[in-house]
Amino acid sequence: MNLLKFYITTPIYYVNSEPHIGSAYTTIIADIIARYKRLMGYEVFFLTGTDEHGQKVYQAAQQAGKEPKEFCDELAEKFKSLWKELEITNDHFVRTTDDYHVRTVQIFVEKMIENGDVYKGVYKGWYCIPCETYWNEDEVIRDGSSVLCPECKRPVKWLEEENYFFRLSKYRDALLKHYEEHPDFVEPDFRKNEMLKILEGGLKDLSITRTTFKWGVPLPRDPSHVIYVWVDALINYVSAIGYGWDEETFKKWWPANVHLIGKEINRFHSIVWPAMLMSVGLPLPEKVFAHGWLTVNGQKISKSLGNAIDPRYFVNKYGNDVVRYYLVREISFGKDGDFSEEKLVGRLNSDLANDYGNLLHRATAMVQKYFNGSLPRPSEGEGIDNWLKERYFQTKDEYLKLMDSYKLTEALEKLWLFIADVNKYFNDTQPWVLAKENKMDRLGTVLYNTLETILKVAIMTSPVMPDTSEKVFGRLSFDAKPSLEHLEEWGVLKPGSAVKHGEPLFQKVEVQNLKKVVETVIVEENTITIDEFSKVDLRVAKVVEAERIPNSRKLIRLVVDLGSEKRQIVAGIAEHYTPEELVGKNIIVVANLKPAKLMGYESRGMLLAAKHGETLRLLTVDGDIAPGAKIS
């Protein structure tokens, strides 16, 4: 195994919705770790991608009126382009619909079967037909004698389906042993403890195929079965690096050094995936790191809200580096945290603009003024210079140690304590007084030392703020590829090289100007956006036929003209309107409502009516307009 290789992964993101700040967070953190390892001299493979199979994706595609593959192509593109905008340096982007992945999944699962870890059994559980979702006994809602779907609240059906099962239970002891021998296998430790509890409680075998839908990887020996999305998805970590199709590359990178994940998928990564690897005889990843969740301005990221908060909003406004710095610095890595624009601006103003940016600014200004923009040569140092150097080497050691153990927040904290010390050094040596007294030699030494420390800071922060570090390197005419060696030695900057004084690195933002913005970002839970509203396709429809549905007290079957087509709609208005009254009326219907069956009649749409007590009146338009006219 090449000791200097580093393989890091993010989860592959499920494409039933667009990327939000949560997926961006995971990916940015992974990018920071990847960049850090490259800086340390590792050869890095950084993998991310999309998870595209499964019934939910299929449904989402249907709702969007698209073929699943076409739908996935579009969403995968959205993820790719967001990562590009965020300057994510992933080495590959895996999609579970990629051919090599599909083949690898089949090879992997076949191997599990060959090794005797899969058997045919009967899956028993509740199934919600409209939602196409399976629910466990503990998930369904019991309302008297009826059993309801927790999502749509409609009755669920008891289902017994023949499936293939993975003998997960068989690996309990081996997993426990692995946890014991590798105490850092799962981090943070409280997440590990949760996993240990599950293991100690015993494992149930896992159903790994489905027969109720087709959008997935078929099981080669029994193609009526499609492989369960989670099994399919987890295999991306080996398919992307060649398992089953490029053994050499695969051997180079596997096992992964870290799977970076969100806490909600810990069980799959820390129990199911390791067991699958054991089953096919592969070594386990070195570490699974489960980070926490973000709230945004104190609110949970729900699907609707999450989409409202596009990470691009903040990046466009403040720049990548500021957002990245904020995420690492403010949200203690591993725990839950809140993404608040106000706090981001606080960090930008105080840490970045005042402490860091201004330090560079004041130092380069003096080199410009007193040394004509040419870096002075330092001479023999004094006590305070040695103190500065000592503080630097101490900080560097702490920083490396913390970064190596994924304590990103603390690493930055230490770095900023050091920046405060550099400011103190600058203050205490009073270079402006030295200039007045014409002590140019001493002045040169102070400025050199200050800029040398800024270079170190720029190198150490380059994984987090790559663009800013590039700017600093430019100002200091440092054109080497930054590396660990540049951190280990003092005196990297070459006297005589050009020092450029320019615009401040970071522009401060007034907090007063922020209020409005924060308000626009917060979406009240009981309000909807214009986008959400526009999803509802409201149309004017002319009723062309109407009749009562036999044996129903309330229902009337209508045929309405929508301009481009005629449709059947079933409505519960028989107690308020007679069929004769209805024919010829221009009514308002929801044209893109999911079709439903009422008393055996399909209804493709819903008409709108106002109801008050016992009175019900249909909505109609003021005056005449063509059937099918869109309402907005």
Element (H, E) at 383: helix 383-404
Residue the block writes with tokens 């990018």: 31
The phi and psi torsions of 225 (rounded to 5 degrees) equal -100, 140
Q: What is the four-CA torsion angle of 486, 492, 493, 495, rounded to 10 degrees?
A: -170
Based on CB atoms, which residue is closest to RNA, 346 or 628?
346
The CB-of-511 to RNA minimum distance in angstroms stands at: 9
**# residues contacting RNA (CB under 7 A):** 42
Work out whether 470 is an interface residue with RNA (CB under 7 A): no
Q: How far is the CB of 518 from RNA (least distance, A)?
A: 15
Over the window 423 to 442, marking each residue x when it contacts RNA by CB under 7 A and - when it does not, the resulting string is: xx-xxx-xxxx---------
- State in angstroms the smallest separation of the CB of 361 from RNA: 4
- Least distance CB 300 / RNA (angstroms): 9
Which positions from 499 to 518 touch RNA by CB under 7 A, shown as an x/- string? -----xxxxx----------
Specify the DSSP class assigned to residue 267.
H
Question: Which region among 28-36, 179-187, 195-203, 564-572 touches RNA (by CB under 7 A)?
Answer: 195-203
Binding to RNA by residue 194, rule CB under 7 A?
Answer: yes
CB of 368 vs RNA, minimal distance in Å: 9
Select from 430, 434, 485 the least CA-distant residue to 455: 485
Nearer to RNA, 254 or 426 (CB): 426
Q: How far is the CB of 430 from RNA (least distance, A)?
A: 7
| Nearest-approach distance from CB 302 to RNA, in angstroms | 13
Q: How far apart are CA 522 and CA 514, in angstroms?
A: 13
The candidate with the shortest Cα–Cα distance to 37, out of 46, 26, 27, is 46
Binds RNA by CB under 7 A, chosen from 54, 311, 337, 627? 337
Question: Beta-carbon neighbour count of residue 464 at 10 Å?
Answer: 25
Closer of 335 and 617 to RNA (Cβ): 335
Residue with Cβ nearer RNA (22 or 431): 431
Q: Among 324, 278, 397, 287, which Cα is nearest to 25's?
A: 324
CA-to-CA distance for 232 and 105, rounded, in angstroms? 6
Q: Tell me which stretch binds RNA (CB under 7 A): 124-132, 419-427, 514-522, 602-610.
A: 419-427
* Smallest distance from RNA to CB 363, Å: 7
* Residue 305 in the binding site for RNA (CB under 7 A): no
Segment contacting RNA (CB under 7 A): 96-104, 179-187, 263-271, 484-492?
263-271
- Assigned token pair, 285: 């990843």
| Minimum CB distance to RNA smaller for 201 or for 223 | 201
Shorter beta-carbon distance to RNA: residue 86 or 359: 359
Cβ distance to RNA smaller for residue 503 or 580: 503
Query: Which residues fall within 8 angstroms of residue 195, CB to CB, at 6 or more apart?
Result: 179, 186, 266, 267, 270, 271
Give the integer Cα–Cα distance in Å for 91 and 541. 53
Tally Cβ neighbours within 10 Å of residue 378.
21
- DSSP string spanning 212-261? S--SSPBPTT-TTSEE-HHHHHHTHHHHTTTTTT-HHHHHHHPSPSEEEE
> In this chain, which of 3, 158, 197, 527 binds RNA, going by CB under 7 A?
197
Please choose, out of 122-130, 171-179, 312-320, 346-354, the segment that lies near RNA by the rule CB under 7 A. Answer: 346-354
Nearer to RNA, 66 or 501 (CB): 501
DSSP 170: G
Phi-psi region of 498 (alpha: psi -120 to 50; beta: other; left: phi over 0): beta
C-alpha separations of 288 from 3, 45, 266, 400, 407 in Å: 19, 16, 8, 20, 14
| Cβ atoms of residues 143 and 156 within 8 Å | no
Asked if residues 473 and 457 have their Cβ atoms less than 8 Å apart, the reply is no
Which C-beta is closer to RNA: that of 358 or that of 592? 358
**CA distance linking residue 87 with residue 321, whole number of Å:** 10
Query: Which residue number, 239 or 320, has a Cβ lying nearer to RNA?
Result: 320
Q: Report the half-sphere exposure of 68 (CA within 13 A, side-chain side).
A: 15
| Rounded CA separation 477/608 (Å) | 69
| Residue 592 · residue 557 · CB < 8 Å | no
355 interacts with RNA by CB under 7 A: yes
Which range touches RNA (CB under 7 A), out of 348-356, 524-532, 544-552, 594-602?
348-356
> CB of 504: closest distance to RNA in angstroms?
3
Q: Hunting for tokens 């903040």 — which residue is that?
A: 314
- Looking at the Cβ atoms of 417 and 536, the one nearer to RNA is 417
User: Min. distance of Cβ 336 from RNA in angstroms?
Assistant: 7
Residue of 361, 486, 566, 576 interacting with RNA (CB under 7 A): 361
Angle between helices 189-201 and 172-181 (to 10 degrees): 150
Percent of the chain that is helix, strand, coil (3-state, to 5): 45, 20, 35
Window 128 to 157, contacts with RNA (CB under 7 A): 138
**The only residue of 122, 152, 365, 498 in contact with RNA, by rule CB under 7 A:** 365
Pick the piece of the chain touching RNA (CB under 7 A) from 249-257, 314-322, 498-506, 518-526: 498-506
Instruction: Identify which range of 211-219, 234-242, 260-268, 574-582 contacts RNA by CB under 7 A.
Output: 260-268
Distance CA 280, CA 126 (A): 31
Fill in the amino acid letter for 459: I
Give the nearer residue to RNA in terms of CB position, either 34 or 175. 175
Shortest distance, position 626 Cβ to RNA, whole Å: 51
| Nearby residues of 501 by Cβ (< 8 Å), 6 or more positions away | 361, 364, 365, 367, 368, 373, 475
Closest distance of CB 387 from RNA, Å: 12
Least Å from the CB of residue 462 to RNA: 17
- 366 makes contact with RNA (CB under 7 A): yes
Q: Which of 252, 317, 362, 585 binds RNA (CB under 7 A)?
A: 362
Q: Which residues bind RNA (CB under 7 A)?
A: 138, 190, 193-194, 197-198, 201, 263-264, 267, 330, 332, 335-337, 346, 349-350, 353-355, 357-358, 361-362, 365-366, 420, 423-424, 426-428, 430-433, 504-508
